[in-house]
Structure 1
Amino acid sequence: MASLYKTLEEKIPVWRDDAGSLLKNNGSSVISDVTLTQAYGGMRGVKGLVCDTSSVSPDTGLIIRGKPLLDIIDILPEQVLFLLLADEMPDEDALADLQSQLSEYAAVPDYIWTILNSMPEDSHPMAMFNTAILAMEKESVFRRNYDKGLSKEDFWKPMLEDGLKLIAKLPAIGAGVYRIRFQKGGLIEPDGSLDWGSNFAHMLGLNDPDGNIKKLMRLYLMIHCDHEGGNASAFTSLTIGSTLSDLYYAVSGGLNALAGPLHGLANQECLKFVLEVRDKFGGTPSRDELEQLCWDRLKNGRVIPGYGHAVLRCPDPRFTAFMNFGKEHIENDDVFHIVETLFDVVPEVLRKHGKAKNPWPNVDAASGALLYHYGLTEFSYYTVLFSISRSMGIISQIVINRALGIPIMRPKSVTTKWLKDNY
């Protein structure tokens, strides 16, 4: 952690000065108006947070610390973690230092395995994963230091230590949940020669003779790392963190939001649709058959899973990354071929249909198909993968918020009567 810690020690005073200057000179400036539709509509589009780790451009998609995702698609998850936290790519020594620290922190306490093995056999994998995170709260360095007395200026330091210790353990916990919940046999020990993402693939225990599962997991864990601060899981975690609850509380709370059908379960729904198409046609349908199927769904008031996005007006670059991976590594697979054909057909159908503002695919349209191809067929587990990755962004945002002294979140609500009286 030495290199990362030193970099943050140098940068945080500059970030504080920037924020202080903005507040001093422009504190009363209005950055967003709120309509009644937004107040009833989940605050969608309301600008009410500052998040520097990532942004989502309608025309570019995910941008991580100013770098479009596809420009950095080949970096390791550890590199993106350093980038999220420090606003710069690690050099070779800094990366090695971070990897060494994660390896040192990777051991999962024995009591976690006792807890997970004691849960009902039909527990949801996300309930198991989040229970493990919350159960480790007793390990929090931040909470111990806060209880002893800690300067507000230094809140970020033990928060960072908690964050790295938690991130280090997530691959083993995630893989353990998979093997326990789906009765895959005993736990698999980590391989000290592997990077963070590859080690996760190794501990899952899937057959990987050509190493492509390790490559896919590195990609998957990198590209799901962050998505601004206003998505449901990040916003939930940021709100919990703003109360000065430690990261174990904040991350487990945010990931409970990720478990919701409207947030982290979308890739499962997309894959189910693709498998239904395969089963209906007994394999890959023709382009004309697929086009007719899409029109039939739309005429019956149903959506095309995986297509359309609240922000993007272009293909999700995460979808593009997955498709490029599939084209390079997957051959003669009906499921992936259906995903490819859908991409050729659906945008034009949606444009002709006229109701979709964005006819392009999002990441969920492709991710499940790749996991399925490589033998990870347990749909309910997919959100655990998402959670391992997204924890990097959530933790980075919370560490930075504590460094900047962001206060407790407390937006104002109004009553229906107030709205009627005033409008």
Structure 2
Amino acid sequence: MLRHAAKPSTRRIAVGARALSSNSLLKQRLIELMPEKQAALKKLKTEHGAKIVDKVTIDQLIGGARSIKCMLWETSQLDAMEGIRFRGLTIPELQEKLPTHSGVGSVTKEEPIPEGMLWLLLTGEVPTKEQADSVTAELHSRAKLPAHVESMIRSFPEGMHPMTQLSSAILALQTESVFAQKYAEGTNKTLYWDHVYEDMMNLLARMPEICALIFRCTYYPEGGRAGAKMNQYDASLDYAANFCNMLGEKFAGDKGFHELMRLYITIHTDHEGGNASAHTCHLVGSTLPDPYLSLLLGLQATLKAEGKPVTPESITEFAWNTLNSGKVIPGYGHAVLRKTDPRYTSQREFALKHFPEDELFKVVNTVYQVMPGVLTEHGKTKNPYPNVDSHSGVLLMHYGFDKYDYYTVLFGLGRGFGVLAQLFWDRALGLPLERPKSVTSEWINQFIEKNPSGLK
């Protein structure tokens, strides 16, 4: 008995470890400390938030550097009241001036092709139809996937989230990085831009097939992922149409869906440098990894009514019930904008043009009419107007694209254009490693003691 007590079994040790974890002294101490620390931070913000520390307020210092102008971002600018401009152009101006698949928007009234948007983001110039078509041809010439990437996607386990698949595929594709190879060889920093350009174009060229393959393997795995079928890559089509073609027959011949994808990719390419996906790519890129490792993607969501008849009254009731339960209204509000998101407006106008009687569009349109008033009356929302996420899913659903888990992959397909275009200029301009200065709460309190009124 003593021998057994002195040498407990592995199973007993494991059980004991779990018990210790559930009664962790460290965790208990943290639970005790949190209310004190939370109250101290709240008091600091309430009493001293407006005071200036080295040209920024304490509120800005604590609150995620909100609105502090401290980053160079060439490809787009976001103004709280004016909205997003891509190289100085609003979304309606893009729709008028950029090339479409058959001409120019001012003539064809079609949506811009992303290839023209890439030219604009990189050069600051509105391309001709010939210039945009040259980008299409260049991307097609670079599009062939390495064999190991396709086989890896086909062998992913069932149930893996599409965004996890996309992230893994990009990492696998990183074996093709020109920048990584040249950097390891000791390339001169004046040539970094060239290597970034090669990686950028190769990555953007291969993204449609990667994304389409993930779609087919995840949702249409006839006989298993390894046997999932996909239409052949079609270099006679533009970037967005070829992507639609590879998604499958349901979308290959739907010209309306092709137009939607051209608009969707175009308006999601960029949203200035301060948003999470753009800033992360810029920050990581400043440490000089290759573009494959720098590209990180954001998320999006949409609002769907809860099965009640859609009327201004029912939407108002839904809104107040949601707010009174302590939740937020999905798709409304924005970190910077103080007006309706122009990306939302462009999608709303697309729906009005192509399917004004769509039932789900009527839901969102009714929400658009009601929600700003509710949120304004509620009084705790700085921006009561809808953002892009409030409408994206409606357009996709109209064309039968109901794979919600995949929507973030579509976002990534578009956002890559903007962040990689800026990454090119980061290296071409020789921008340095991003390294902001941080301080502790103790430092702030000591500063306030020495400067009760803050700095002037």
TM-score by length of 1: 0.85
Q: Which moved more, 1:45-54 or 1:384-393?
A: 45-54
Partner-residue secondary structure (3-state), 1:207: helix
Structure 1 residue 285 displacement after superposition: 1.6
**Cα pair 1:318 1:362 within 8 Å, conserved:** yes
**Cα pair 2:153 2:214 within 8 Å, conserved:** yes
The equivalent position to 1:88 in structure 2, one of 121, 125, 144, is: 125
User: For the residues of structure 1 that align with 2:364 and 2:211, how far apart are their CA atoms?
Assistant: 27
**Cα pair 1:49 1:229 within 8 Å, conserved:** yes
The equivalent position to 1:389 in structure 2, one of 397, 400, 414, is: 414
Match of 2:451 in 1: none
Match of 2:452 in 1: none
**Cα pair 2:91 2:346 within 8 Å, conserved:** no
Structure 1 residue 227 displacement after superposition: 0.8
Structure 1 residue 210 displacement after superposition: 4.2
Q: Which moved more, 1:124-133 or 1:205-214?
A: 205-214
Where structure 2 has 5 or more consecutive residues not aligned to the other structure, the ranges are: 1-53, 96-110, 222-227, 449-456
Where structure 1 has 5 or more consecutive residues not aligned to the other structure, the ranges are: 1-31, 259-263
User: For the residues of structure 2 that align with 1:180 and 1:42, how far apart are their CA atoms?
Assistant: 39
Q: Which moved more, 1:206-215 or 1:382-391?
A: 206-215
Matches within 5 A, 1:34-53: 34-53=56-75
User: For the residues of structure 2 that align with 1:352 and 1:106, how far apart are their CA atoms?
Assistant: 52
Larger radius of gyration: 2
User: For the residues of structure 2 that align with 1:275 and 1:357, how far apart are their CA atoms?
Assistant: 24
Q: Structure 1 vs Structure 2: percent identity of aligned residues?
A: 40
The number of residues matched between the two structures is 374
Query: Is 1:195 aligned to residue 238 of structure 2?
Result: yes
The equivalent position to 1:214 in structure 2, one of 258, 262, 267, is: 258
Q: Higher RCO, 1 or 2 (CA under 8 Å, sep at least 6)?
A: 1
Q: Which amino acid aligns with 1:173?
A: I
**Cα pair 1:307 1:365 within 8 Å, conserved:** yes
Structure 1 residue 60 displacement after superposition: 2.0
Structure 1 residue 122 displacement after superposition: 0.8
Structure 1 residue 331 displacement after superposition: 4.8
Match of 1:412 in 2: 437
Structure 1 residue 118 displacement after superposition: 2.0
**Cα pair 1:206 1:375 within 8 Å, conserved:** no
Q: Which amino acid aligns with 1:407?
A: P
User: For the residues of structure 1 that align with 2:219 and 2:242, how far apart are their CA atoms?
Assistant: 19
Structure 1 residue 244 displacement after superposition: 1.1
Q: Which amino acid aligns with 2:91?
A: L
User: For the residues of structure 2 that align with 1:129 and 1:65, how far apart are their CA atoms?
Assistant: 29
User: For the residues of structure 2 that align with 1:201 and 1:34, how far apart are their CA atoms?
Assistant: 47
Q: Which amino acid aligns with 1:318?
A: R
Match of 1:249 in 2: 293
Structure 1 residue 352 displacement after superposition: 2.2
Q: Which moved more, 1:172-181 or 1:322-331?
A: 322-331
Q: Which moved more, 1:401-410 or 1:145-154?
A: 145-154
**Cα pair 2:333 2:386 within 8 Å, conserved:** yes
Cα deviation 1:382-408 (Å, max 9, x = unaligned): 000000100011101110010110111
Match of 2:453 in 1: none
Q: Which moved more, 1:81-90 or 1:67-76?
A: 67-76
User: For the residues of structure 2 that align with 1:352 and 1:170, how far apart are their CA atoms?
Assistant: 44
Query: Is 1:238 aligned to residue 263 of structure 2?
Result: no
RMSD: 1.7
Cα deviation 1:251-302 (Å, max 9, x = unaligned): 1xx22xx2xxxxx13x2xx23xx142xx2x1xx4222222222223223322
Structure 1 residue 189 displacement after superposition: 1.4
Structure 1 residue 239 displacement after superposition: 1.4
TM-score by length of 2: 0.79
Partner-residue secondary structure (3-state), 1:177: helix
Partner-residue secondary structure (3-state), 1:155: helix
Match of 2:363 in 1: 338
Cα deviation 1:24-77 (Å, max 9, x = unaligned): xxxxxxxx9332222322222122101010011112211000111221133211
User: For the residues of structure 1 that align with 2:397 and 2:129, how far apart are their CA atoms?
Assistant: 34
**Cα pair 1:238 1:398 within 8 Å, conserved:** yes
User: For the residues of structure 2 that align with 1:160 and 1:314, how far apart are their CA atoms?
Assistant: 36
Partner-residue secondary structure (3-state), 1:62: strand
